[in-house]
Amino acid sequence: MANAAAIGLSARDLYLFNKGNYFHSYRTLGAHPVQQGGKAGVRFTVWAPNAKQVCVAGSFNEWNSSGHRMERIGETGVWSLVIPDIGPGAVYKYEIITTDDKRLLKSDPYAFAAELRPSTASIVTELFDYNWNDGDWHQRKLEDSPYHEPMLIYEVHLGSWRNDGKELFWTYEQMADELVDYVVRMKYTHIELLPITEHPLDQSWGYQATGYYAATSRYGTPKQLKMLVDRCHQKGIGVILDWVPGHFCKDDHGLREFDGTPIYEGKDWKRAEKPLWGTLAFDFGCTEVQSFLISNAIYWMEVFHVDGLRVDAVASMIDLHFDKPPELYTYNVFGGTENTDALRFLKRLNEVVFQYYPNALMIAEDSSAWPAVTSPTYMGGLGFNFKWNMGWMNDMLRYMALDPNERMRHHNLVTFSLMYAFSENYVLPLSHDEVVHGKRSLLNKMSGTYEQKFAQLRLFYGYWMSHPGKKLLFMGGEWGQFDEWKDAESLDWMLLDYELHGAMHNYVTSLNDRYGKTPSLWERDCDPGGFEWIDVHNAAQSVVVFMRRGHAADEFSIVICNFSYHHHPEYRIGVPKPGRYRTALHSEAAAFGGSVSTAGSTKVYHSSKTPWHGRPCSVTLDLPPLSFQLLVFARGEPRRIHEEAVLH
């Protein structure tokens, strides 16, 4: 055995790693170019506590590892070796001899790059080889709170946003030009990338990973990915990564029984197995696994400058019975089904991330009813700062699929979400999960004729954008992709040449722009005082009217949604104060594919003194069927206090 100092490692770092408290473990483990004895080489370091012997095999020794045996570092379970005269670009694996003398050839769990599938070897790569130009972006992040800023996320699967044919993927560098400019034009604030950690199967979309520290080689090099993130930041766009700590692949070259024993998945095979996915769960009670995963979260923020993580499948992590048959049930020490190790891990994860990156985004994709997901850990919460609102999404997609003539009996599907809208800090997701596997596209979920589907989707988007909570839309939804998502093909960009799809694209661009320019729609997303119902009870006509408030006293907007087929040419709504109310957006404007002229969709209404809906004043407006209208209060003293409509 060797001591840590003799091999150029820090004994303190290895101690912290073993205790679950080394949050930059990627600086030690993995393959790192080094200078030793005046010669360039690479230091390889791996955790394999139960191995009899570990060697390095690679392109530099013709995959004959006999001359490159690693040394065990004390009782840490860590092995290390410096190999001279090699550097970045070297291809390698670890050859592990198990206690029963089996020979395993494993990819590096801390590999920073990997070969293109189906090859599986790791590649030596420099971590800090990029000159960043996003200082202004990070300064702005320090000054702004995500709770009070607009957040409009464009969810993207890089392999199918655009490509040149089957498996002819665009590179990260191409995306840095095309995707970023598109997102800027569309007025999004953030891009969320489906997992880009290395994975063997394209159809898993990255959710079944083998290389947690390696950006997938499908789209290029780690340096090119840094270029993409840098370009986003220079253009004012934040970057969120889907992150999957809940499970990993069983592929032989990966983490499963890495040293011949279950060190990443744990010894309890019933708890480790995730039969629905054919994967294995991490052992969240293992301290070295904690160092591995928490460091991975920090890695993407430090090395790649990402702004946050959307943490996948939290419900499956915290529930020991989630998607499992009875024969795989296990229980915690208290006899319950909560995974207490996972709960402690998630709390620690969020504490550490916010310690290093106070304004990071940690977003839980959680379908459970677990309380206080977005409350601080010192208050008993899990410590995330946002959570996907799956209940709102399920209720509204069910409602929009109904025939409008049936909606009066299901009015609660629209209104119920406001009973809990401020119990957590929510993101309203319209994600990839809702447009695959026979679920149909968002457009095709809408009821009615071809034209009515577009009207309904415009209405739905308007309600979504004005409902409390940050926003996420999966790619293709912005023009009404008619077919559900095809992960092996490019999006149907040719649809933009069709009138209604092009008009939908125009509508979403305008809606996104209006959202960013209307502080009342986002400043108080997490504050109950930012929302007021004006009329919540009109189930008979399937109409809802509500108000969103910003921080300033006169910063408010009025939302009117008609979910029925009926036209109401003189529909009166109560307003909170006298003055002028300008139509900021009308989903039925002709430019968006609707039937209302420019003059009819850009009106200014002057309030009357007629009380209505418990408000001191009111306005009367034309309310077309299947329509969304956004009125904003025009500041300043009104010229006339009587009801009329004039062109904007």
Q: In 3D, which of 367, 316, 373, 370 has the Cα closest to residue 347?
A: 373
3-state helix, strand, coil in the chain (%, to 5): 30, 25, 45
Q: In 3D, which of 239, 220, 23, 243 has the Cα closest to residue 134?
A: 239
- 368, two tokens: 């459970």
- 469, two tokens: 């909570």
Determine the Cα–Cα distance for residues 544 and 533; give it in Å rounded to an integer.
8
The per-residue DSSP string of 101-137 comes to: --EEEE--TT-S-BPPTT---EE---SS------HHH
Determine the Cα–Cα distance for residues 176 and 171; give it in Å rounded to an integer.
9
Burial of 21 (0-12, 13-18, 19+ CB in 10 A): middle
Q: In 3D, which of 216, 224, 232 has the Cα closest to residue 167?
A: 216
Q: What DSSP state is assigned to residue 607?
A: P
Residues 6+ apart with CB under 8 A from 262: 256, 269, 272, 283
Question: Catalytic residue positions?
Answer: 312, 365
How many CB atoms are located within 10 Å of the residue 276 CB?
12
Q: In 3D, which of 462, 421, 424 has the Cα closest to residue 563?
A: 462
Give a three-class secondary structure readout of 513-569: HHHHCCHHHCCCCCCHHHEEEEECCCCCCCEEEEEEECCCCCCEEEEEEECCCCCEE
CA 340 to chain centre: 25
- 216, two tokens: 């997938």
φ, ψ at 640 (rounded to 5°): -140, 140
Spatial contact of 476 and 485, defined as CB atoms under 8 Å apart: yes
Helix or strand (DSSP H, E) at 53: strand 53-58
